[in-house]
Structure 1
């Protein structure tokens, strides 16, 4: 997926409907996790920039997996961080909040951008500024009814549910109008990583794939 343009990248995310959020996972385990995701058909993942090694890890993953996977950067909080992530290979940028300067930088660099938003005002402003998808965060705190109600005034805005999304509630978010799910700890549980139980991780990944494909 190396040569996808901005619009094509956005379409892949909306078609796949699942963004795996990879946060604070050490390199050796991270490679195992992404191996499992590639084998089970998870095609979209973001590396969060909380980790001081994030840019290097993103470059490593891009070199190894970009043929079959779409890799982006998450927890991006500045224009400089966005640029460094894109240089490392990020095909999309995810933010925790709505930052107009980062949205504009991504537009200028022709990279898909997914800002975080909480209120209808933030969602609408982010979309008007050029965001490709809006990350509604924290989704579980707002509940599925929030997504359903947003379909009335803003049906054209693609929303991703992020924050507290699980196997148990993920389908409800999609049925309420979310176009994609961002899933972190529910997809990479710490107990599975601690035990390095890769077959169990593969089974979990398959369950999430089945959930979004129904």
Structure 2
């Protein structure tokens, strides 16, 4: 009977919030917000041959930019099928930004409720974002390599990194997302607990 009374009284007592977890979730929210801003505003890659940094908005006009090869008079947009590449990149970036917004919403809800399930869900979303960021880095290298291979038919021996290289936004995203995942793992050890009975 005493045990039943103890269990009922424990149910009435509210769990004590973990301030460490709250702070960690707030930091994760800020890091994801910075990632979103960086990927939207900062250069994603640099077109070395045109001395042109390209951000998210400029990807939409990438096909016009790549024709600025100068005196060589080579249409790179035809060489590397830039129209398909541009459309694919814009689509993937739109999905990327939607996932970033979803992650920020989950982080805000986690700050309010501090549920382990929400942390795991956000961990999965951020992991997907990290994989997508790695894909962007890989895709940029492949685009450069494809152009370099095509230019060999013009008797031009050019390395891929002399054509296109990844820029600050990709590097920042990788660092910030890995940091966010590490913080989420740490936050799993800090849950709301019942206050100690004296």
Name which one, 1 or 2, has greater alpha-carbon Rg. 2
Q: Which has the higher helix share?
A: 2
TM-score when normalising by structure 2? 0.22
TM-score when normalising by structure 1? 0.21
Bigger relative contact order (CA 8 A; separation at least 6):
2
